[in-house]
Amino acid sequence: MSERYRLLTSVAIVSGVLGILLAVRPLPAERLFAAYVLALAAIGLLHFVRAYRGELDPTPSRFEQALRERARATSARPGVFLVMDREIELGILHAGQAHRRLLPLLRAAAAARLQARHGIELERGSPAARALLGDEAWEFLRPDREPPADPFGPGVPRETIADLIERVEAL
């Protein structure tokens, strides 16, 4: 239904009601005409607001644009990647989170790669696994790694995590 049709229909209905009320005369004619004018003003204001809202093309603020871009980027990623992003960020912030959650994920990935491609089990702590991972990666991914002394201290640096991921992918 177009706006013009709505406007004309509303004015016609209000005018019809005025005609009926003038015939019946429940109120003095002055009050009926005052109510009629008020109803027409309300209809006109409503029509103006609807027209203004429809014609206005607001450009979103930079904040709204950033939120939309982030929502698009977030929705484009599968849930598994979002979980991994969160685990990495928590592992960077807190040593305890890195020890309990991030490093076991990386250790499981390394164990799967070592088993599938080289027939080596990481969990047994074999020297072959240590040689393939390298000494630095082994210190983070070894199965008998001790918990950190301060679990709320800083976690694993971002660069180290990136190196560990590259090392696991290279297996």
Token pair of 38 as six digits: 């008020």
pLDDT at residue 77, rounded to an integer: 59
25 and 105 both lie in a single domain: no
111 and 42 both lie in a single domain: no
pLDDT at residue 34, rounded to an integer: 92
88 and 147 both lie in a single domain: yes
- Count the neighbouring beta carbons within 10 Å of the beta carbon of residue 31: 11
Tell me how many domains the chain contains: 2
CA angle 80, 86, 88 (to 5 degrees): 100
User: How far from chain centre, in Å, is Cα 34?
Assistant: 52
41 and 86 both lie in a single domain: no
For residue 71, is it within any domain? no
152 and 97 both lie in a single domain: yes
**Residues 7 and 54 sit within 8 Å (Cβ to Cβ):** no
For residue 68, is it within any domain? no
pLDDT at residue 76, rounded to an integer: 58
Instruction: Return all residues near 147 (Cβ < 8 A) that are at least 6 apart.
Output: 96, 99
CA 143 – CA 122 distance, rounded (Å): 7
Q: Which parts of the chain sit beneath pLDDT 50?
A: 56
Encode pLDDT of 113-156 as tens digits: 888 888 888 777 678 888 888 888 888 888 888 888 888 988 88
Domain residue limits at 12:
3-55
92 and 35 both lie in a single domain: no
pLDDT at residue 12, rounded to an integer: 92
Q: Which of 34, 35, 38, 46 is nearest to 9 (CA)?
A: 46
CA 124 – CA 170 distance, rounded (Å): 21
166 and 90 both lie in a single domain: yes
Tell me the CA end-to-end span of the chain in Å, nearest whole number. 65
